[in-house]
Amino acid sequence: GLRKDYYQSEDGREDALVMVIHPVQNAIENRRTFAIISHPDAGKTTMTEKLLLFGNAIKLAGAVKSRKTDRHAMSDWMTMEQERGISVTTSVMQFPYRGRTVNLLDTPGHEDFSEDTYRTLTAVDSALMVIDGAKGVEPRTIKLMEVCRLRDTPIITFINKLDREVRDPIEVMDEIEDILQIECAPMNWPIGMGRGLKGIYDLVNDRIIEYRQGQGHHVYEFNVIKGLASDAAKTLLGHDYADVCDEIELVRGASHTFNHEDFLKAGLTPVYFGTALGNFGVQQMLDGFATYAPPPQPRESMERLVDPGEDKFSGFVFKIQANMDPKHRDRIAFLRVCSGRYEQGMKMQHLRLGKSIRITDAVTFMAGDRTHAEEAFAGDIIGLHNHGTIQIGDTFTEGEALKFKGVPNFAPELFRRVRVKDPLRSKQLEKGITQLAEEGASQVFFPLNKNQIVVGAVGVLQFDLVAYRLQDEYRAECIWEDASIAAARWVQCEDEKMLTDFKNKNQENLAIDGGGYLTYLATSRVNLQVVTERWPDVKFTKTREH
């Protein structure tokens, strides 16, 4: 049968949401799983807080504590670890909005943990890109967009900080189109900025939403003026009226119009303007998100495409996070449900180990609901307690042998040799290094003809984290030494004879990584260039899949 759910839209219209009462199908159709991508300081934390406000997950803004750490001098690992501990529950925030169940996946703010961010992006179906209106496209935004492009993840754009003197919005959109290579379709247009911010003009519905200052901390009623041609609009805009009309005409003529299909193919992004701090324009963006963002998408496995609507449960692990409660020395493995339904107490097959396990204590993440969710559907994230048996990239199913694709390892950019301080603890050191690499905290390489262990990282802080955890969890104090390595590339070659030849001639630079894969460790950029030119039929890759 059919069921209708009504909700009040912001201009008082009653919108009907027709839902098919097939619990699983319905749950999946209404799920929206996304992450926010932005350069530090663009407003991700502020935006997250406002989204939770609309999702009724928090009562007042200010409740989401900024988990920001000093970006320059970060030596105090305890603080960071405590903060990471808190964030286990805030890593996934689920809240209801307009008949949808929204899963917002948080990503670490610090760029040294960007690998974590990249992998989190493999678990979403869309992304919200927050841009600082005064700064435009920044380096981190570019990197994160590259990652989204790997899977053609649809992007919604929010240009933030309109309450300040920002750059010309047309210029910012041009920059997004040029640098990020995605078409921009403005959904609304700012009227004024900074102190002169009057509101936004809704290009789709021809109406003005008036800006009111000082409303940042709660959900409030907007004053809506229907029609740019109305007397109310003329009164509001005063002697700017003609200029505003001209600008809007220009924008309509010069920019792309929204096209759902292009958005879903990641060729076009709807652009919303507003201020997250002032909680203005956020609801319009969220409404757009609820309307256009895709439900859980099919996922590719080595064997076949897995549809979210399939009856049988399946999912993959994209992130592992230390549980900081010292009484529980376990870690939480974050699993994205790809199909079927998770139910407390169910049995799953841990495919890499070929073991059947019963899951009784998975963590689910209902931020807005008091009742504890004991089930999860495609698009949802569940947290599994991991006592060292789960690795990033692991697949869980109800029995079918599947291996989900696309959870990448990125070639590290920093390398250090690690040595144990107390030789009696070398076994523990090796075990610790290997386990930490398995959960993605760092990467490990064992050179073929040297008795050494090389640790690779994307950011310097990862080394501090590894040292801290080796000491804290494995009682192995380590010493870092210069490794004289500039780059790592995973090596593949179809021609086995050539591969053997390559191996024999490059023993000195070859290593096996934590996953058992052959890796070339280049001593310099020049060295890397020379070897790739000398061996054109050998593939040197910067990413490898788990």
Contact positions vs ligand GDP (CB under 6 A): 38, 40-46, 66, 109, 160-161, 163-164, 275-278
Residue 496 CB coordination number (10 Å): 8
Residue spans of alpha helices (H) in 166-257: 169-180, 231-237, 241-254
- Beta carbon of residue 92, minimum distance to ligand GDP (angstroms, whole number): 17
Q: Based on CB atoms, which residue is closest to ligand GDP, 66 or 235?
A: 66
- Beta carbon of residue 365, minimum distance to ligand GDP (angstroms, whole number): 20
Q: Using the CB atoms, write b or e for 223-245: b if 16+ within 10 Å.
A: ebbeebeeeebeebbeeeeeebb
Which pairing describes strands 126-132 and 100-105: parallel, antiparallel, or unpaired? unpaired
- Joined together, the tokens standing for residue 350 give 């841990």
- Beta carbon of residue 273, minimum distance to ligand GDP (angstroms, whole number): 10
Query: How far, in Å, CA of 103 to CA of 361, rounded?
Result: 20
Q: Based on CB atoms, which residue is closest to ligand GDP, 38 or 101?
A: 38
Give, in order, the Cα–Cα distances in Å from 329 to each of 60, 204, 473: 34, 53, 8
- Beta carbon of residue 109, minimum distance to ligand GDP (angstroms, whole number): 6
- Beta carbon of residue 316, minimum distance to ligand GDP (angstroms, whole number): 27
Residue 447 CB coordination number (10 Å): 20
Q: Based on CB atoms, which residue is closest to ligand GDP, 7 or 220?
A: 220
For CA atoms 87, 160, 69, 420, give the dihedral sign. Answer: positive
Query: How far, in Å, CA of 495 to CA of 502, rounded?
Result: 10
- Beta carbon of residue 274, minimum distance to ligand GDP (angstroms, whole number): 7
Q: Based on CB atoms, which residue is closest to ligand GDP, 41 or 262?
A: 41
Q: Based on CB atoms, which residue is closest to ligand GDP, 49 or 439?
A: 49
- Residue 383's beta-bridge partner residues? 334, 363
- Beta carbon of residue 279, minimum distance to ligand GDP (angstroms, whole number): 9
User: For tokens 């003809």, what's the residue?
Assistant: 449
Q: Based on CB atoms, which residue is closest to ligand GDP, 172 or 277?
A: 277
∠ CA 519-523-525, nearest 5°, is: 95
- Beta carbon of residue 360, minimum distance to ligand GDP (angstroms, whole number): 36
- Beta carbon of residue 335, minimum distance to ligand GDP (angstroms, whole number): 26
Q: Based on CB atoms, which residue is closest to ligand GDP, 162 or 429?
A: 162
Q: Based on CB atoms, which residue is closest to ligand GDP, 66 or 524?
A: 66
> Helix %, strand %, coil % for the chain, to 5?
30, 30, 40
Residue spans of alpha helices (H) in 338-405: none
The answer to whether residues 406 and 297 touch, using CB atoms and an 8 Å cutoff, is no
Query: How far, in Å, CA of 388 to CA of 333, rounded?
Result: 10
Q: Based on CB atoms, which residue is closest to ligand GDP, 163 or 439?
A: 163
